[in-house]
Each structure stands twice: as C-alpha cells, then as structure tokens.
C-alpha cells in the first residue's frame, strides 16, 4: 500500500497541478459572465421548475425534474459534505472553506452549462430510457462536424475516467467512510460486515434501474438533508455569538498562512486554496460531467430547463450543506482540539526494528517492535500490518531472516497508552483497540504546508494480556526529527472528525447522527454513481455488460471495507484521482461545445420573457412531485 499510495500521489501531483485549478475556476467565471449570471436563474426559475410547474408526462424521459435533481444531489450531497469538508479543514485549514464557496458559486454556472449540453445531445431513441452525458455530447457533436471517429474516441476516454471516479469517489470512498465511522463508534461490528450490508442494500436498489433509483433518492435525499441540517443548526444556535468570528477566520485564512494550533498543523494560503478547490469539486462535482448523466433522464422537451435545475446543486451542496458542516467543526473546536492524553514527558524518537521473515517461501518485511521473545519465537508489534493481517504476530525465530534497526525511519520510544483526560473521556469514552492516534513531530520542511511539523500515526493494538499498545507507523526521514509536544491525539479521519465535532457539543450526538447520516448519504451516493458508471459501460461495451458491472460494483463496496485505507492522506489520494481525471476529460468538451449551450440558454429565456413559451401550470401537490406521480 505504501508503494501504491506513492504512485497515486505522483499521478495526483500532475492532474491536480495548480494550473488545473486555475483553469477550472476560469471556466466557471467564463460561463457565469457568458450566461449573464445563471446563478440567479437557478435560484428563481430553477426552483419553479423543480416544484413541478413545467412537468409534462408526454415529454421524453423517465423521471420528473425533482427526481432528476434528487438523483444528482444524492451523488453530491453525501460524505463529501460530512467527511470531505472535515478533510479540507484538517489539512488546509479554515481558509479552504472560502475556496469551497467560490467553487460553489461558479459551479452553479458550470452545472447549468454541462447539463444543458447533455440535454441538447441526449439519445432519446427509447423515450423511457434516455441516454446522456458528456460522452454523448462528444460523440454526436463531433459527428455533426464530420469527425465521428474523434467523437467516439473522446467519448470513450470520458467513460474511462467516469468509471475510475465511480470506483474511487463514488463507491470505495463512501463505503470506507461508513465502515470507519460505524466501527469507530461500534467496535464490535467488523468492517467487513458493514461492507456486506452496504453491498446488499445498494444491489437491491440498482437492479431496478433509473426509475427505482429516482424513486428511492426522491424520498431519501430530502429526509437525510433535513435530519442533518437540523442537528447542524442546533450546534450553530448554541454558539451563535461565535459565528461572525468563525466566518472572519475563514476569509482571513484563505489569504494568509494559517498558524499551527494543537491538532492543526497549519498551512499556507496556497495549500488552503488547493484543498478548498479539490474538496469542493469532489463534493459538488461541478465540471466533472457526472450530474448530466442523471439529468438526462428527466422528462422535458426543453434542454435549458433541466440545465437551470442542475444549477441548484452546487448551491444546496456547497453553499448550504458544506457551510453548516464547516461551522459545526469550527464552532466546536474539533479542528484544532487539544490532545486527548499526554505522556509524562515528550518521548524521544528512535529507529524502529525492521523484521524480515520467510512466510512459506514468500519474504515479508515489517517495521515495529519486538515486545517479547523466547527461544522459539519473537512477538512482534507491527506498526503497518497488511490488509487482514494481525498487528501482533508471533514469528518463529527459524523463519526470521533479518532483524535490524531501520535507520531511515523513526518512531516514539514509547508504546504504552496514557490515560485520556476527563474531558476527552466525556466526549469519546476510553481508548479502544484499533483507534488511530498521532503525535506531532518536528523535522524536515513540508513543501505543502511550509512548516516543519508532521503527524506521526499509530494504531492501538490489544496484546495477549489485554493491555493496549501503540503500533507506530514509522515516519520516514533521513535526519532525526524531534518531539516537543507530549500530547497523544485521537486521529479522526473524514466523517469521524465531523462526528467528533457534534460529540464535543453534545456527547453521543455525533455517534448517532453522523453514523445514521453517513449510512443514508453513502447509500444514496453509491446508488447514483452506480447509474453513472452503468451509462459509461453501456457507451463502451453495450447493455450486455451491465449485469456483470453491477456485480463488480457491489463487490468493490466490500473490498473497500477490508482495511486498505488508513489515513486522511491515503483517503484523499483515492478520491482526488477520480475527480481529477474526469475534469481533464470534461472541461475540454465544455469549452468546445459551450457556445451551443449558451446560445440555447439565451434563446430559452428570450422565449420565456416574450411569452412565446408555455408559462407553465399550477404546481401539483408536493407529494406527487416527490413520488413522480405528476408525470405518470
């Protein structure tokens, strides 16, 4: 996994280079100005369309505007809002949120444009099962230019990136986060059991196709949003007086270096920009090209109408939901919390032991500490065990080929676990086996944060006598780092940090609220992304491969819960890959054909303004809209 993550880190360094972020931001500004600030149209006309005032059962499509919006939102309003925001703040600081807002605003124009394009070029040969998305824009658009082979090639490339994003951010990220937070709060439930349950639930829904997906998400999305937002508002109301200061902190930190504070290591303004952009793009999917696939199933004969509805997504996702999550994390102090426990004094950093042994003809290497030995075997506390392997191994001496000191790696000289403070026990209870912890070490300068601070992670392991010990994941450095802070911090990754934030306000709230929200958000996201990937499979290979694809998709849910990901950096590597490659494929398509979307956009509102278009009808009952009965 270390080599795999290093490989992903290298790829992400290219696809997430600063110039890529500048281009996405510039394209968003371009379509904002070109459309005459379509954000206003989304918040006014888009709301009326979503309410059902323009729904017509005779229009081509499978689901109404509300269900299309719900399906797309189910893919965006998810763990990116709970875990992704927490990740941005933990690594980029409060300033990252400002850049999330910026993407949220310009993302409304990006969504309007890309969905309008997909509606213009969608395939309605089967009116009840329309096909759409950037791949069809490329295929049909270039075909009309006399460049059909080029269009098929570019559409195929987009579908490959779509499947990568489906596997990573749309599936494995969701499953891993659910397993992590559920197992963290309920350690008796193995993560693989959570994976099996998720796979069964998702499988039962996606077998029914887009109509069942639209029906489920139309009910699930409003419920999960209402549940989560009410709890967030509770935290904000309790800390209402501090809200202005937190908003000021977000803006100031976006343009200046954030100072290190307790668990937060600090970072440059550029680092905040990077994390804010990355997490906002992942959360809202603006410019990614995924949402047009869901919206292409909407019943309408006006492409722009669905495009304007899509413009609501980044507003709901990033401006509303992500901001509430942000305020919960900042107001509770979870982002720069003090240590949960402390050693009597700052431990020294020493080189761990490297043990190499012959495992039935296969050489294995681990770093850690020999905690006991006899004439027959070593008992080795492993800092970085492999997937499915025990962290404490009894290794026969006869199988050990090398036992030496690793001079380029460093771990604290202690492995015992100090008692938590009274306040920490009140919030999150006692230490438990498999808790991930970290200490702060000083060493070489981190090019990303501009500081010499690093987190050195470890995992609590239960020894044979019942005691807990820390299996440290060695910090790699050529020169000796040092520790000045004796604190031991509980490492809350992604959604776990948001859950901890709620728990700091009302102990137990995070345990139940965030666990339930994560399950609902993740299931709805995985359902929607399964449909996105399915459309990519159909474009590349045809409908006969849909069933095998769905089986593989459900299997990947289980694989993601087997312990492949351990830290927030590894988590980001996985999701950043999927989002990044889709941006590289979709943004050029938008720039090439964007003029057609803008032409249709302005013509639509000209006709609406002059009365050439049907002004719509009275809004149907909201229950009919939610259930899709108004278009049956």
Q: For the segment 350-366, what is each residue's pLDDT rounded down to a tens digit?
A: 999 999 988 888 888 88
Whether pLDDT at 387 is above 60 = no
Considering 167-176, 221-230, 322-331, 375-384, the range whose residues carry the highest mean pLDDT is 322-331
Query: What is the fold, at CATH topology level, of the domain defined by 2-334+503-622?
Result: Amino acid/polyamine transporter I (1.20.1740)
Average pLDDT, the chain: 86
Share of the chain above pLDDT 90, in %: 37
Q: What is the pLDDT of residues 572-583, one digit of tens each?
A: 676 677 778 888
Torsion sign over Cα 491, 496, 502, 503: negative
The residues, any chain, with a CB within 8 Å of residue 179's CB and separated by 6 or more, are 191, 194, 195, 560, 561
- pLDDT band of 569, cuts 50, 70, 90: low
Instruction: Kindly report the backbone phi and psi dihedral angles of residue 463, in degrees, each rounded to the nearest multiple of 5, phi listed first.
Output: -85, 175
Answer whether 586's CB lies under 8 Å from 134's CB.
yes
Residue 607 is predicted with a pLDDT of 93
Whether pLDDT at 7 is above 70 = yes
- pLDDT band of 346, cuts 50, 70, 90: very high
Q: Domain ranges for the chain, please list them.
A: 2-334+503-622, 341-491
- Structure tokens that stand for 298 in this block: 């909407």
Answer whether 365's CB lies under 8 Å from 356's CB.
yes
Tell me how far CA of residue 289 lies from CA of 134, 448, 486, 516, 629, in angstroms: 6, 29, 47, 29, 28
Whether pLDDT at 570 is above 80 = no
Share of the chain above pLDDT 70, in %: 94
- Where would I find the H helices in 375-508? 422-428, 495-505
Answer whether 593's CB lies under 8 Å from 117's CB.
yes
Residue 215 is predicted with a pLDDT of 65
Tell me how far CA of residue 242 lies from CA of 237, 321, 507, in angstroms: 10, 19, 20
Answer whether 214's CB lies under 8 Å from 62's CB.
yes
Residue 539 is predicted with a pLDDT of 92
Q: What is the pLDDT of residues 201-244, one digit of tens each?
A: 898 888 766 566 666 666 766 777 788 888 899 999 999 999 99
Residue 565 is predicted with a pLDDT of 65
Residue 19 is predicted with a pLDDT of 81
The predicted model gives 290-296 an average pLDDT of 88
Residue 534 is predicted with a pLDDT of 92
- Helix axis angle for 509-541 and 209-238, nearest 10°, is 150
- pLDDT band of 452, cuts 50, 70, 90: confident
Residue 409 is predicted with a pLDDT of 92
Residue 440 is predicted with a pLDDT of 92
């Amino acid at each position: 996994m270390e080599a795999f993550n290093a490989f992903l880190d290298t790829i992400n360094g290219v696809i997430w280079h600063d110039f890529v972020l500048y281009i996405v931001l510039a394209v968003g500004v371009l379509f904002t100005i070109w459309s005459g600030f379509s954000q206003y149209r989304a918040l006014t006309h888009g709301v009326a369309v979503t309410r059902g005032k323009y729904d017509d059962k005779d229009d081509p499509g499978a689901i109404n505007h509300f269900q299309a919006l719900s399906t797309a939102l189910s893919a965006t309003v998810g763990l990116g809002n709970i875990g992704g925001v927490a990740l941005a703040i933990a690594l980029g600081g409060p300033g990252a949120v400002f850049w999330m807002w910026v993407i949220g605003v310009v993302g409304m124009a990006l969504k309007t444009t890309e969905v309008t394009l997909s509606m213009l070029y969608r395939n309605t040969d089967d009116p009840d099962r329309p096909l759409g998305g950037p791949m069809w824009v490329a295929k049909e658009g270039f075909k009309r230019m006399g460049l059909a082979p080029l269009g098929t090639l570019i559409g195929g490339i987009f579908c490959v990136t779509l499947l990568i994003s489906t596997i990573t951010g749309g599936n494995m990220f969701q499953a891993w986060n659910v397993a992590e937070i559920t197992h963290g709060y309920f350690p008796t439930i193995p993560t693989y059991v959570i994976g099996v349950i998720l796979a069964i639930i998702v499988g039962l829904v996606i077998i029914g196709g887009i109509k069942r997906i639209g029906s489920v998400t139309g009910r699930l999305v409003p419920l999960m949003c209402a549940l989560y937002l009410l709890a967030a508002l509770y935290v904000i109301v309790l800390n209402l007086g501090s809200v202005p200061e937190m908003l000021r902190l977000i803006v100031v930190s976006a343009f200046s270096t954030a100072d290190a504070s307790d668990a937060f290591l600090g970072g440059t303004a550029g680092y905040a920009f990077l994390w804010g952009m990355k997490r906002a793009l992942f959360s809202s999917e603006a410019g990614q090209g995924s949402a047009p696939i869901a919206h292409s199933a909407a019943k309408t004969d006006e492409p722009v109408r669905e495009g304007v509805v899509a413009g609501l997504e980044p507003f709901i996702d990033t401006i509303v939901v992500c901001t509430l999550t942000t305020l919960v994390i900042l107001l509770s102090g979870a982002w720069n919390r003090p240590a949960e426990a402390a050693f009597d004094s700052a431990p020294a950093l020493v080189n761990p032991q490297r043990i190499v042994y012959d495992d039935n003809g296969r050489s294995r290497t681990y770093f850690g500490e020999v905690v006991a030995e006899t004439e027959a075997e070593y008992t080795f506390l492993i800092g970085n065990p492999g997937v499915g392997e025990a962290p404490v191994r009894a290794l026969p001496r006869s199988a050990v080929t090398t036992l030496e000191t690793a001079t380029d790696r460093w771990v604290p000289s202690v492995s015992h676990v100090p008692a938590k403070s009274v306040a920490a026990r009140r919030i999150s209870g006692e230490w438990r086996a498999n808790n991930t912890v970290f200490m702060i070490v000083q060493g070489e300068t981190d090019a990303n944060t501009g500081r010499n601070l690093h987190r050195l992670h470890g995992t609590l392991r239960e020894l044979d006598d019942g005691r807990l010990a820390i299996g440290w994941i060695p910090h790699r450095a050529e020169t000796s780092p040092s520790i000045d802070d004796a604190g031991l911090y509980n490492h809350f990754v992604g959604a776990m940090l948001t859950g901890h934030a709620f728990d700091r306000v009302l102990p137990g709230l995070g345990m139940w609220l965030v666990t339930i929200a994560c399950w609902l958000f993740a299931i709805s996201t995985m359902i929607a992304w399964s449909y996105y990937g399915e459309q990519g499979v159909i474009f590349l290979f045809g409908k006969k491969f849909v069933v095998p694809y769905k089986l593989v998709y459900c299997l990947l849910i289980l694989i993601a819960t087997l312990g492949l990901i351990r830290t927030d950096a590894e988590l980001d590597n996985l999701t950043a890959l999927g989002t990044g490659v889709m941006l590289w494929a979709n943004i050029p398509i938008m720039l090439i054909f964007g003029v057609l979307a803008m032409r249709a956009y302005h013509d639509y509102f000209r006709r609406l303004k002059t009365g050439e278009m049907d002004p719509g009808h009275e809004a149907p009952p909201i229950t009919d809209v939610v259930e899709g009965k108004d278009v049956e």
